[in-house]
């Protein structure tokens, strides 16, 4: 995908969740394109890729919470924001199960506060709201398609389904120009949530430990490299795909044990994974069809799953000082 620099040069652009797995590379790409960047950051994360890469020194940083309505309205007004990428969310399923209230506040209330501020802003022209395959919940058939109803039933799944539907409501009711990518399990360098299977496995191997699998190893997921997710977000805006949701996936669902074994092979590791089989309140089979994105947007991934993993392993080796 070729992105025109002239489309972004000096464009006032807001990214929420900029220290996260998707936020950091997205900010780096937008800076490369010349956008005038503003980032709302709640927590200081010194080991985030946003900080380590030096990108944070090139953006305007607003410290605050997405639940602070006055702060969000001030940011949109004072920086005359044109384009928004809303990534801020509580993204860990286990955390949502233990503390659903904070997840609902971050993922649902934080979203409608931003959408309502955008509705009243005279400068906002477009927005990307990042959703998830988890919003689909339990379905009678797979893969997930965009015409399926959103049936989240567990706290995290419900939070993503609600926020997704609220974003759609603001388009259909108020014509707010929002577009919705739905991703599988994102992975890539800079993910510091070690409970996730890919960074957790890589860290364990680097430190000479057996990888840990929380489930029985047979849960099936989509794994999608974060750099392809960045390009997908930009493509949606280029195509002005407002009011619609699009799945993005390599269409290569894998069992958790399979992704762990692939990482072990790529890292020449003989340590056998420890299978805890302690997962509760998670759907066993989840994966996406990308047929709509391919047909309507002409989308195709830049990377393969294996290339994404190779680049990810390289990032963590550098992060931990391993040659």
Q: Report the first-to-last Cα separation within the chain, whole angstroms.
A: 32
Region of residue 176 (phi > 0: left; psi between -120 and 50: alpha; otherwise: beta): beta
Q: What are phi and psi of 39, to 5 degrees?
A: -125, 130
CA–CA distance, 285 with 96 (Å, rounded to integer): 19
**Residue with tokens 């384009």, as numbered in its chain:** 83
Catalytic amino acids?
A: 156
CA–CA distance, 229 with 225 (Å, rounded to integer): 7
Q: At what angle do helices 256-266 and 197-206 cross, to 10 degrees?
A: 40
Provide DSSP, 26-57: HHHHHHHTT-EEEEEESS--TTSHHHHTSGGG
Provide DSSP, 253-313: -EEHHHHHHHHHHHTT--PPPEE-----S--SB--B--HHIIIII----SS-HHHHHHHHH
Nearest to 166 by CA among 128, 109, 121, 124: 109
> Which helix (H) or strand (E) element contains residue 98?
helix 93-98
DSSP category for residue 122: S
Give the pairing of strands 254-255 and 220-221.
antiparallel
DSSP category for residue 148: S
């Amino acid at each position: 995908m070729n992105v025109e620099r002239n489309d972004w040069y000096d464009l006032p652009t807001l990214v929420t969740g900029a220290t996260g797995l998707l936020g950091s590379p997205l900010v780096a790409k937008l800076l490369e394109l010349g956008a005038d960047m503003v980032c709302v950051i709640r927590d200081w994360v010194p080991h985030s890729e946003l900080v380590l890469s030096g990108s944070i020194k090139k953006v305007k940083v607003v410290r605050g919470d997405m639940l602070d309505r006055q702060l969000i309205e001030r940011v949109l007004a004072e920086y005359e924001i044109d384009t928004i990428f809303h990534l801020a969310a509580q993204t860990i399923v286990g955390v949502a199960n233990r503390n659903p209230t904070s997840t609902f506040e971050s993922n649902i209330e934080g979203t409608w506060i931003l959408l309502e501020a955008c509705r009243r802003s005279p400068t906002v022209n477009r927005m990307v709201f990042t959703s998830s395959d988890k919003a689909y919940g339990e379905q009678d058939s797979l893969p997930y398609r965009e015409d399926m109803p959103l049936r989240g039933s567990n706290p995290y799944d419900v939070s993503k389904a609600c926020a997704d539907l609220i974003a759609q409501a603001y388009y259909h009711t108020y014509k707010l120009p929002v577009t919705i990518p739905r991703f599988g399990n994102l992975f890539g360098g800079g993910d510091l949530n070690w409970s996730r299977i890919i960074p957790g496995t890589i860290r364990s191997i680097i430190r000479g430990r057996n990888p840990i699998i929380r489930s029985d190893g047979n849960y099936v997921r989509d794994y999608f490299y974060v750099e392809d997710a960045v390009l997908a977000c930009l493509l949606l805006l280029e195509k002005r795909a407002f009011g619609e949701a699009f799945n993005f996936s390599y269409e290569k669902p894998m069992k958790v044990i399979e992704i762990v074994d692939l990482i072990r092979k790529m890292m020449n590791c003989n340590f056998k994974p420890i299978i805890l089989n302690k997962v509760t309140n998670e759907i066993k089979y989840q994966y996406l069809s990308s047929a709509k994105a391919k047909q309507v947007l002409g989308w195709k991934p830049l990377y393969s799953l294996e290339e994404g993993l190779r680049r990810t392993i390289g990032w963590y080796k550098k992060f931990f000082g391993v040659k």
